[in-house]
Chain A
Amino acid sequence: MASVTMQVNGKSVSKDVEGRTLLVDFLRNDLRLTGTHVGCDTSQCGACVVHVNGQSVKACAMFAIEADGAEVATIEGQANADGSLNVIQQAFQDHHGLQCGFCTPGMVMTAAALLKENPKPSEAEVRSYLEGNICRCTGYHNIVKAIMAASGQDVAAIAAE
């Protein structure tokens, strides 16, 4: 067992964990932050994406102890201070960018990272950035549209339906 301390969604947490505990399991099982999902065992689906020190990472590909001392952001901490949806979350709802919702936390976290790097991404840039996030429900159309809308672009013309 090793002790880890990290800031999760702005709150400091300390726990003893086994060295082999993945960050995603630490979040889900130890902190009960079950919004971060597990969709695969090969680090390819992106359902588990969180931010560690501002970078988007797959929480299934990192040990909890590697995040010792880090600032971790998960989907549970994304809404505005008053509890309303943030711009990206709101765009996903407005443009029907989710169906079953299972990939959604990872999509939102990935989208946030993209828009930080590239505030006005083109369609191709959005699609390519989502390479590591699989959605089985939406056919991606409305996810891409939502992310472009969240960046302030007028999506009515590029994706009418």
Chain B
Amino acid sequence: MPKDHGIGASDKRREDVRFLTGAGHYTDDIKTYGATVAVFCRSTVAHGIIKSIDTSEAEGMPGVLAIFTGADFADVGGNPAGWLINSRNGEPMKEPKRPVLAHGKVRHVGDAYAAVIAETELQARNAAEAIVAEIEELPAIVDMAAALAGDTFVHDEIGTNQCFDWGWIEDNRAATDAAIKAAPHVTTLELVNNRLVPNAMEPRCSIGNYDAGNDSYVLQTTSQNPHLTRLLISAFVMGIPENKLTVIAPDVGGGFGSKIYHYGEEALVLAAARKIGRPVKWTADRTEAFLTDAHGRDHVTKIELACEKDGTFIAFRTETMANVGAYLSNFSTATPTFLHGTLMAGNYTVPNVYVNVKAVFTNTAPVDAYRGAGRPEATYSIERVIDKAARELGIDPIAIRRKNFVKPDQYPFTSAAGLEYDSGNYDALMDRLEKHIDREGFAARRKESEAKGMLRGLGLNAYIEACGIAPSNLVGVLGSRVGLYDAATVRVNATGNLSVMVGAHSHGQGHETVFPQIVGEMLGIDPASVEIVHGDTSKIPFGMGTYGSRSLAVCGSAMVRATEKIIAKAKKIAAHMLEASADDVDFKDGQFTIKGTDKSVSFGEVALKAYIPHNFPLEDIEPGLEETAFYDPANFTYPSGAYACEVEVDPDTGKVRVDRFIAVDDFGNIMNPMIVTGQVHGGLGQGIGQALLEGARYDDDGQLLSASYMDYTMPRADDLPFYTVDHANGTPCTHNPLGVKGCGEAGAIGSPPTIVNAVVDALQSAGKNFTHIDMPLTPLRVWESMQTA
């Protein structure tokens, strides 16, 4: 029976009221007195040498307050990569500087080489157009294989376009090679994980403010993690002391990864605000977002699956080229490696896994973590090749997966790719999936479709991901330059209500609703009296923000720990009030009671007492009721799932229609089922978008062909079905206090292979002899493959 309040209840979201009435505050909604506008001059060529930049005409134009070029930032630092990856030969990755503004060379279309600050946007745009840059065009490096083979370099100083050549686990390479050589059956598949643009609906926006009186700065910006942004700006890019820089991310209109990273525009508006002594605002238009937001995916992979004739897996081996674009974005080196290679055993007991990833610089926008980040790429490769192997061996696609699943009694299970899965039950997920999909009815549904001239296919998939990012110890060993704990401060105010300051930052996930559900239940108080404070480095403890399905698993755990400390201290205060020993005091439903008596005080009375500490034994109890906890997880969490879908393919047009989609997930314990379901829906929308519609395309000259909603196909309401979502039977995470695993990315991870498997199934039913089409499965691609198959 679902609860009607507290942990596990589908509380309606309190933040909705402001969003539904136009009262939200997104960064661009901030209208500061005296604010000026920044506009950037962006390269129209993919690769070129900046010979000269003539700003003389622009400087004299109406309203112009300042102009910046790369030379102005030549002496400040660069925007760093957060993970150091070492190549197989032990060499550290190549790490060219990523400047605030391009200097010397432009390296992708959209690379900013100058910025104008003016009184109005129009004046800034006019002046930006009057800046004359002489750029000597160089051959554009777009294709990854050509980039590795060629002798033109995106970064001349490193003399190669290869960032690293990574092996995981290098020591397992020989054994994996030998196992594949000796295997009775090997299935090989070459596939492209298509490049995507995250497309949060709110474009990026940053406002720089400088207070000369205090020599301090405030940056208001569209960020998933204000403290990380502050750290990067302070420690690496501009050298502003952290205590002189406040970063505030107000309401954030979606992120999906793209707003994790620090971007040069943020540094520019701060420098400009200081120079002119007024606030400086920059708001991306959608074209700029397409050209400069970090893109996602863009892997080219060859995967081999070696197995016995009965379908028992022996080895997975992959070779991947991963595009990192023109510069290393903050997580770009972790995404194709530790968020990808370590998941390459999937849900399976396969004994041998070897992954090779070459990261490649190209003259394209930087590529970084986008919803799922590495794990969608891993799942896609694994689950596509399994489907192909099942067909080759004549084994049922569910049976082959079940045969190789890690079994419930094997946890903790160390996978051949080196992670220790703490919990799960993949067979149980598959059981539930089979219940939902009515497989027996499929043949009849296929007949019905065929009667309409349509082909019907059923696609299946199982996935595992690593979430709750991340255990600092482990990621430190793997090359992370930061810790990935989180923090929460629980402040009980004198009048009994609470302010809870958290390091996570909601950009749609509903933290303002769910976090109070948890604290409210723990303290036996009304969640409405708990206010979440987030997104402002001057108010919150140092946390690492929201991404990697980490908010609840990591920050929520910190909040639980801080609340436990509150309870412990409140017990002491209650004991003092009741003239008892703290050990004799029970806390239940908001009341502190001396065991075995009816003598009690309420939480509210204790809160008030904490701030009016008359007669306090000050040597034992400090006044006040406020506690902070930092929480560093012991391990990743491992959500998993089993997905299925049925598609109808029109053989005359190649159009694919998703008829039904079923997602069964294990997210561990569920705090708010309504919100969790919504997260799955959103992930499915993006994953189905990747499978059927979306693709960022550069032409050979490095021009982005899909730089607007006219050319980049976003999933719209009529592209998608109602989904069936089931997350009722999770296995709790064993190592965090709430037993939660995280749900933000699952849908985007599990859905692309499900769709492609279904389309392949549909086309095979028409006797078409082919085994793969690369995403997106647009009508043209499907139709063309049908003609050639």
Where the two chains meet, the residues of A that have a C-beta atom closer than 8 Å to any C-beta of B are 28-29, 32-42, 44-45, 47, 74-76, 78-79, 85, 89, 92-94, 96, 98-105, 108, 123-124, 126-128, 130-131, 133-145, 158-161
Contact = CB atoms under 8 A, between A and B. Distances in A.
A140 B709 contact: no
Given A37-B253, A75-B22, A93-B20, A102 B201 contact: yes
Contact of A102 (B254, B677, B708, B725): B254
Given A100-B252, A102-B253, A123-B722, A37 B286 contact: no
Contacts of A92: 16, 20
A103 B201 contact: yes
B13 A39 contact: no
A128 B720 CA distance: 11
Given A78-B22, A140-B685, 5 more contacts: A41-B286, A108-B20, A133-B717, A137-B201, A140-B716
Nearest to B674: A96
Contact of A45 (B25, B685, B709): B709
Contacts of A89: 20-21
A104 B20 CA distance: 7
B203 interface: yes
B681 interface: yes
Contacts of B726: 161
A41 B20 contact: no
A37 B210 CA distance: 27
A136 B256 contact: yes
B583 interface: no
Contact of A131 (B31, B251, B718): B718
Interface string B490-529: 0000000000000000011110000000000000000000
A109 to B, nearest CB: 10
A109 B725 CA distance: 28
Given A32-B31, A136-B686, A141 B720 contact: yes
B12 A130 contact: no
Nearest to A33: B22
Nearest to A39: B201
B722 A136 contact: no
Given A36-B22, A127-B717, A137-B682, A96 B709 contact: no
A99 B510 contact: yes
Interface string B698-738: 00000000001110001111101011111000000000000
A35 B725 CA distance: 32
B101 interface: no
A49 B717 CA distance: 16
A38 to B, nearest CB: 7
B582 to A, nearest CB: 42
A97 to B, nearest CB: 9
27 contacts: A34-B25, A35-B22, A42-B708, A42-B710, A45-B709, A76-B21, A85-B17, A85-B20, A93-B20, A96-B674, A101-B16, A101-B508, A108-B20, A134-B201, A136-B254, A136-B256, A138-B685, A139-B688, A139-B715, A139-B723, A140-B716, A141-B720, A144-B717, A144-B722, A159-B722, A160-B724, A161-B723
A44 B256 CA distance: 20
A141 B26 contact: no
Contacts of A45: 201, 286, 709
B289 to A, nearest CB: 9
Contacts of A124: 718
Given A44-B710, A131-B718, A78 B21 contact: yes
A101 B24 contact: yes
Nearest to B672: A96
A123 B683 CA distance: 21
Contacts of B507: 100
Contacts of B766: none
B17 A142 contact: no
Given A101-B16, A102-B26, A37 B202 contact: yes
Contacts of B710: 42, 44
B49 interface: no
A134 B716 contact: yes
Minimum-distance CB pairs A-B, first 8: A35-B22, A139-B685, A101-B19, A102-B253, A100-B508, A99-B508, A75-B22, A34-B29
Interface in B184-216: 199-203
Contacts of A36: 22
Given A136-B200, A139-B685, A38 B28 contact: yes
A96 B13 contact: yes
Contact of A94 (B12, B200, B684): B12
Given A44-B709, A130-B717, A139-B683, A98 B286 contact: no
B745 to A, nearest CB: 13
A39 B200 CA distance: 9
Contacts of A134: 201, 709, 714, 716
